[in-house]
Amino acid sequence: DSGVTQTPKHLITATGQRVTLRCSPRSGDLSVYWYQQSLDQGLQFLIQYYNGEERAKGNILERFSAQQFPDLHSELNLSSLELGDSALYFCASSASGASGAYEQYFGPGTRLTVT
Amino acid sequence: AQTVTQSQPEMSVQEAETVTLSCTYDTSESDYYLFWYKQPPSRQMILVIRQEAYKQQNATENRFSVNFQKAAKSFSLKISDSQLGDAAMYFCILSLGGGGADGLTFGKGTHLIIQP
Q: What is the 3-state secondary structure (H, E, C) of A52-89?
A: CEEEEECCCCCCEEEEECCCCCEEEEECCCCHHHCEEE
Predicted confidence (pLDDT) per residue in B7-54, tens digit:
999 999 999 999 999 999 999 988 889 999 999 998 899 999 999 999
Residue B97 distance to chain A (closest CA, Å): 4
- b/e code A65-94 from CB counts within 10 Å (16+ = b): ebebeeebebbbebeebeeebbbbbbbbbb
Mean of pLDDT values over A53-68: 92
In angstroms, rounded to a whole number, what is the distance separating the alpha carbons of residues B3 and A104?
A: 19
Residues of B in contact with A33 (CB under 8 A): 103-104
Predicted confidence (pLDDT) per residue in B59-110, tens digit:
999 999 999 999 999 999 999 999 999 999 999 999 887 644 466 789 999 9
Predicted confidence (pLDDT) per residue in A75-95, tens digit:
999 999 999 999 999 999 988
Q: Does the structure show a pLDDT above 90 at A103? A: no
**Checking DSSP bridges between strand A87-94 and strand A53-57, what pairing results, if any?**
unpaired
Residue from A4, A3, A1 nearest A89 by CA: A4
Give the model's pLDDT for residue A98: 61
Q: Which residue of B has its CA nearest to A110?
A: B43
Give the model's pLDDT for residue A2: 86
Give the model's pLDDT for residue B96: 83
Average pLDDT of chain A, as a whole number: 92
Classify the C-alpha dihedral B19-B59-B99-A54 as positive or negative: positive
Q: Which residue has the higher pLDDT, A47 or A1?
A: A47
Q: Hey, are the CB atoms on A58 and B33 less than 8 Å from each other?
A: no
Instruction: Specify the amino acid at residue A79.
Output: S
Residues of A in contact with B100 (CB under 8 A): 55-56, 98
Q: What is the CA radius of gyration of chain A?
A: 13
Q: Which residues, numbered 86 to 105 in chain B, qualify as contacts with chain A under a Cβ-Cβ cut-off of 8 Å?
A: 91, 95-105
Give the model's pLDDT for residue B57: 93
Give the number of C-alpha atoms closer than 13 A to the C-alpha of residue A42, restricted to the C-beta side.
Answer: 18
Cis peptide before A8 (omega within 30 of 0): yes
Q: Which residue has the higher pLDDT, B64 or A97?
A: B64
In angstroms, rounded to a whole number, what is the distance separating the alpha carbons of residues B33 and A37?
A: 21
- Least CB–CB distance from B44: residue in A98, A103, A106: A106
Give the model's pLDDT for residue A42: 87
Any A CB within 8 A of B106 CB = yes
CB atoms within 10 A of CB A37: 20
Facing residues of B79 across strands? B19, B64
Any A CB within 8 A of B41 CB = no
In angstroms, rounded to a whole number, what is the distance separating the alpha carbons of residues A111 and B2?
A: 27
